[in-house]
Amino acid sequence: MDTLVLANARLADGSSTDILIESGRISRFGAPAPESATTIDLGGRLVLPALIDAHIHLDKTLLGLPWQPHRAENTTQGRIASEKDLRRTLDWPVDKTGAELLRRALSQGTTAVRSHVDIDEVTGLRNVEAVLRLRERWSSFVDIELVAFPQSGIRRCPGAIELLDEAMKMGCDLVGGLDPVGIDDDPDGHLDAIFDLAHRHGTGLDIHLHDQGEPGLSEILAIADRTKADGLGGRVTVSHAFALGSVTSDRAAHAADRLAEAGVTILTSAPGAGPMPPVALLRAAGVRVVAGSDNIRDAWSPFGNASMLERCWLVAYRCGFRTDTDVEGTFDLATSNAASLLGLERGLAAGCSADLIALRADTLARAIIERPRPDLVLRRGRVTHWVDGLDPGRLPRLTLPR
Ligand SMILES: [Zn+2]
C-alpha cells in the first residue's frame, strides 16, 4: 500500500506535526517523509480519530426518497404501525436509501457503524438481505456490524424467533431485543428467547430498552444478571436505557455498579424527549458508554444527519456539560469506547489503524461545539472522502458504490 504523509496536522494538544501512514497504520510523527510518499498538506487542520456510529438503522431511513411527512401516533406502537404501513405502500428500495445514509455518514467522518435490521412478519428477511448487500458493497469504506432486530417484539410477532435465527445464519453479528415489558409484556419469555438464541450462535446482544422507571430498571438488572451468568461480559449492550434516567440517582448508581460488574454497555442517542441515562455517573462507575444516531429521517423521526460530532454535542448538551474536559469526554463515546465495543481500533499513536478525520477547528472542544464537516476522511490509511485542496494526488481513487 502507498505511503501517505499528512503534513501540517494539528493535534488535540495544540502541537503541529506531520503524520506518516504506512500499510494502513500510523507509523510515526514528525519524521522526514520518504521521497516516494504522497503528501497532503492539511494546512493546520485538526486531526482526530474517525467516528463510529454504534446505533443506526440502515433499513429504516427514507433518505434519497421524496420527503415523507411524519405521520405516526406519538407512541412506540404508533410508530411501529406507521412504519409497517409505509413498508406496504411506499416504493422503498433499502439498497438505495441505506446507501444514501452511508454516503452521508462517510462525509461526516464515520467509518464504522452498528446497524439494527428490522425483522417482523411484514418485512420477513428482506431487509436483512438488502443490508447484507450494502455491507458487501461498502466494505472498502465502512465497517458494518448487524443486529437482528425484532422490531415488533417476539411474543406479539408469530415466527419472529425463527426469523431471527435465520438472520443470524445469514450473517447478522448480534441478536437484538425490544422492550420485554413494554412491547411483549413477557420479560422472562423475551429475555429467555434472545439469550438462548445468542448462546446457540455464540454471539452477543444489543437490546432496545425504552421501558422507564422501576419496571425498566428491573429489566436492566435482569439483563446484567443474565450477561454475568452466560459469561457475556463486554458483549451485551442496552440501547437507550431510559430507565436509568427516570429513577432516583441512588437507584441509578446501584444499577451502574451492577452493569459495570457484568460488563454491560449502555448506548445513548441523547434523545430529544426521552430520559437521558446519567452518562457521568455511569462512566464514573466503570460502565462503558457509547453513542449512536438511532433514527435518521425515518418513520420514527424526521431528524438526524448522521453526524457523530453532532451526537457528541447532543450528549454534552443534554448532560449539562460545559467545561472543555466534560465536552471533550463525549468524544470517547463515538471513538474509543465504541471501538472497543465493536472490536475495532481508534487512536492517534504510532501503530494505530489510520482511521482518521481532519477538520477546521483548533481544539476538540471547539470541534464538538461547532461540528464542522470533516475535510478529509481516511479508513485504514486510504483516503475515502476529501474536499477540494486536499486531493489524494496519485493515490488510487475509490469510487463510492451507487
Ligand atoms: Zn434503534
Q: Identify which has the larger pLDDT, 200 or 396.
A: 200
Residue 59 C-alpha to ligand 1 middle, in angstroms? 11
Cα 47 to middle of ligand 1, angstroms: 30
Q: Ligand 1: distance of its center to the CA of 265 in Å?
A: 15
Average pLDDT over residues 138-156: 96
* Ligand 1 midpoint to CA 285 (Å): 25
CA of 209 to the centre of ligand 1 (A): 9
Q: Give the integer Cα–Cα distance in Å for 270 and 292.
A: 9
pLDDT value, residue 274: 85
Per-residue pLDDT, 2 = 78
Measure 253 CA to ligand 1 centroid, in angstroms: 25
Convert the pLDDT of each residue in 180-192 to its tens digit. Answer: 999 999 999 999 9
pLDDT the model gives residue 291: 98
Q: Measured between alpha carbons, how far is 186 from 17 in angstroms, rounded to an integer?
A: 57
pLDDT confidence of 236, banded at 50, 70, 90? very high
For ligand 1, the distance from its centroid to the CA atom of residue 30, given in whole angstroms, is: 42
Please give the average per-residue pLDDT across 41-49, as a whole number: 97
Please give the distance, rounded to the nearest whole angstrom, from the Cα atom of residue 383 to the centre of ligand 1.
30
- Sole residue written with cell 428477511: 125
382 C-alpha to center of ligand 1: Å? 30
Distance from residue 210's CA to the centre of ligand 1 (Å): 10
Instruction: Quote the CA–CA distance of 326 and 287 in Å, as a whole number.
Output: 16
* 248 Cα to the center of ligand 1, angstroms: 25
Q: Which of 133, 114, 118, 208 is nearest to 163 (CA)?
A: 118
Q: Could you tell me the distance, in angstroms and rounded to a whole number, from the CA of residue 150 to the centre of ligand 1?
A: 11
User: Do residues 244 and 266 lie in contact, with contact meaning Cβ atoms separated by under 8 Å?
Assistant: yes
pLDDT value of position 332: 98
Lowest mean pLDDT, pick from 31-45, 210-224, 349-363: 31-45
Distance 396 CA to ligand 1 centre (A): 36
More confident residue, 396 or 264: 264
Whether residue 9 is predicted with pLDDT greater than 80 in this model: the reply is yes
**115 Cα: distance to centroid of ligand 1 (angstroms):** 8
Residues 211, 382: Cα–Cα separation, whole Å: 42
Which cell numbers in the block locate residue 26?
500510523
Mean pLDDT for 363-385 is 96
Mean pLDDT for 255-271 is 98
| pLDDT > 90 in the chain, percent | 90
Strands 46-49 and 38-41: unpaired
75 Cα–ligand 1 center, Å: 14
Q: What share of the chain is helix, strand, coil (3-state, %, to 5)?
A: 35, 20, 45
DSSP conformation letters of 54-72: EEE-TTT--TTSS------
In this prediction, residue 32 carries a pLDDT of 81
Is 165 a residue whose pLDDT tops 90? yes
CA-CA distance, 291 to 318, in Å (whole number)? 13
Mean pLDDT of 233-245: 98
Torsion of CA 160, 338, 319, 214, to 10 degrees: 40
The pLDDT, as a whole number, for residue 1 is: 58
**What is the sign of the dihedral through the CA atoms of 122, 87, 102 and 276?**
negative
Ligand 1 centroid to 225 CA: how many Å?
23
- pLDDT given at position 154: 94
Residues 222, 187 contacting (CB under 8 angstroms): yes
- Cell triple for 174: 448480534
Give the DSSP letter string of 132-180: HHHHHHTTTT-EEEEEEE-TT-STTSTTHHHHHHHHHHHT--EEEEE-T
Distance 334 CA to ligand 1 centre (A): 16
Q: With cut-offs at 50, 70 and 90, classify the pLDDT of residue 389.
A: confident
- Give pLDDT tens digits for 64-122: 999 999 999 998 889 999 999 999 999 999 999 999 999 999 999 999 999 999 999 88
In this prediction, residue 31 has a pLDDT band, given cuts at 50, 70 and 90, of confident
Task: Kindly state the average pLDDT of the residues 357-385.
Answer: 97
Separation of CA 116 and ligand 1 centre (Å) = 7
pLDDT of residue 251: 97
Q: How far is the CA of 208 from the centre of ligand 1 (A)?
A: 6
For residue 77, the model assigns a pLDDT of 87
Report how far ligand 1's centroid is from the alpha carbon of 57 (Å): 6
Q: 51-56 and 46-49 as β-strands: parallel, antiparallel, unpaired? A: unpaired
Distances (CA, A) of 250 to 98, 117, 118, 246, 278: 41, 35, 35, 11, 11
Mean pLDDT, the chain, rounded, equals: 95
Ranges of beta strands (E only) in 264-349 are 264-268, 289-291
The three cell numbers locating residue 355:
482511521
Ligand 1 centroid distance, CA of 39 (Å): 40
φ, ψ (nearest 5 deg) of residue 145: -105, 140
Contact between 290 and 54 (Cβ < 8 Å):
yes
Count other C-beta atoms under 10 Å from residue 379's C-beta. Answer: 23
